[in-house]
Amino acid sequence: MVKIAHISDTHLSHRRIRNVRDSWKERYRVSWIENDFSLAFQRALDAAIETKCDYLVHSGDLFDVPVKRNTTSPTEYARAIAISEIRRFLEATNFRVPIIIIDGNHGTYLYRNNSTLEFIKSAFPENIFIATNYDLKRAIVKKEPLKVEFEEINFYLFPYLEFKSIPKYEELYDTWISQCQEPEEGKMNVAVAHGMFKNYDLHERLFSFPYDYVALGHDHQQRKYAPNAWQAGSTEKYTFAERGQEKGILEVIIKKEKEIEVNPIKIVSQREMKQFEVELSSDMSALTVEEKIREIVVNYRRNFDGNTASRIKVKLKGKTSLSYWWTIEDRLAEIQKNVLTEEYNILEFRWDESELKKSIPQSLAKTPQMDQYLIEDPVKDFINYLKNLEIDDDIKFEQYAKLGPEIIKEVFSEGIISSKEEL
């Protein structure tokens, strides 16, 4: 029997800049939200110690940054927490538990050949085994496996890869998995991967092999993907979409007769993350809307305390007119300014108007609307949209027709995410 503690998406060094109170837990050192993620990491490792596991697996996004083109490095505070917490884990387990960590889409300089996992590895070279995005690319090119082998168990590693971005990539990746990542007979075999089907960054091929367990990361909701595959979920709420989710880690027991047992272990955060819905109608004045929102925030009117302050989102629904909306937006900005002060126990205040329908005056409504297009085939739709605009200048038309699709491809290459917040 082998016991694995599976944790994921700890996003250390996660910071929010917009819509949050400019307040620090320790001035110029660590902000409150960043501290939440540090505490969650600490709790996750506490839970892992409790399981008395034989191996600790982290399935990606240990650090929140760098991400995509944002090459910001993790904060020094987050780096120190990572090292000191891992040391604490190793000491508590007498340096007997190997730690396996893979790169996600966060914490890695995707366009450079570096990962933040490298300094973690160099701090504990005997105990930590990593696989970076770069290691994966190299393994694919050299047609070599990417795995860590122990006497009784092999770990096959699948750091994050956007294999769908180029058809050739997908083919190469598929071939590589089939040829290099096959489980070994007579041993226990575990795959560790960062990706989810919804985003097309998790390869089906992984599920064609009889791995005893597939430790998944990237999906912040803890859940079972297949009888032998689980997403551990994030350790702290990252977006408001996660406000109702239970966070935690997984204890995975693999038995000789190839039967697995997966036990979720909860991690509880002290921070409240709450969403309020406000329904608007076309005849509702900005003043009425303001009053409705003031009725919500008044319940938080007490001295600010960073340990217990809430993260609040107001979701606006229904209808309004565009001219009302401009005033409402001004009011919202005013309310935000008011509540992110010492007088309210609010850490974050934001609003979301993505589901609010704003009607525009007839005079402005003559031209076709961009949002009626870009649905089926964004590039083709864009050309149709251009035609409908009846642009007289041929040169301009050609320029738009050339530039537009390039921009669309760039924007949509990341996939369309319904919420404005990103994972």
Nearer to Mn ion (CB atom), residue 61 or residue 135: 61
Closest CA to 421 of 222, 289, 162, 243: 243
Nearer to Mn ion (CB atom), residue 165 or residue 323: 165
What does DSSP assign to residue 94?
T
Nearer to Mn ion (CB atom), residue 74 or residue 378: 74
Residue 76 Cβ vs Mn ion, minimum distance, rounded to whole Å: 23
Residue 242 Cβ vs Mn ion, minimum distance, rounded to whole Å: 13
Residue 315 Cβ vs Mn ion, minimum distance, rounded to whole Å: 24
6 counts as binding Mn ion under rule CB under 5 A: no
104 counts as binding Mn ion under rule CB under 5 A: yes
350 counts as binding Mn ion under rule CB under 5 A: no
Contact set for Mn ion, span 200-239 (CB under 5 A): 218
Paired tokens of 410: 């760039």
Nearer to Mn ion (CB atom), residue 218 or residue 247: 218
Would you put residue 265 in left (φ > 0), alpha (ψ -120 to 50) or beta?
A: beta
105 counts as binding Mn ion under rule CB under 5 A: yes
Site string for Mn ion, 40-69 (x = CB under 5 A): ---------------------x--------
Residue 392 Cβ vs Mn ion, minimum distance, rounded to whole Å: 47
What angle (nearest 5°) sits at the alpha carbon of residue 341, between those of residues 339 and 347?
Answer: 70
Nearer to Mn ion (CB atom), residue 105 or residue 108: 105
Paired tokens of 240: 């408001």
SS (H, E, C) 231-268: ECCCCCCCCHHHCCCCEEEEEEEECCCCCEEEEEEEEC
74 counts as binding Mn ion under rule CB under 5 A: no
Cα separation, 272 vs 228, in Å, equals 33
Contact set for Mn ion, span 316-335 (CB under 5 A): none
Cβ-Cβ contacts under 8 Å for 115 (sequence gap 6 or more): 103, 107, 108, 109, 130, 132, 133, 134
Residue pair 161/125 in contact (Cβ under 8 Å)? The answer is no
Range in contact with Mn ion (rule: CB under 5 A) among 88-96, 100-108, 255-263, 319-327: 100-108
Q: Which residues bind Mn ion (CB under 5 A)?
A: 61, 104-105, 218
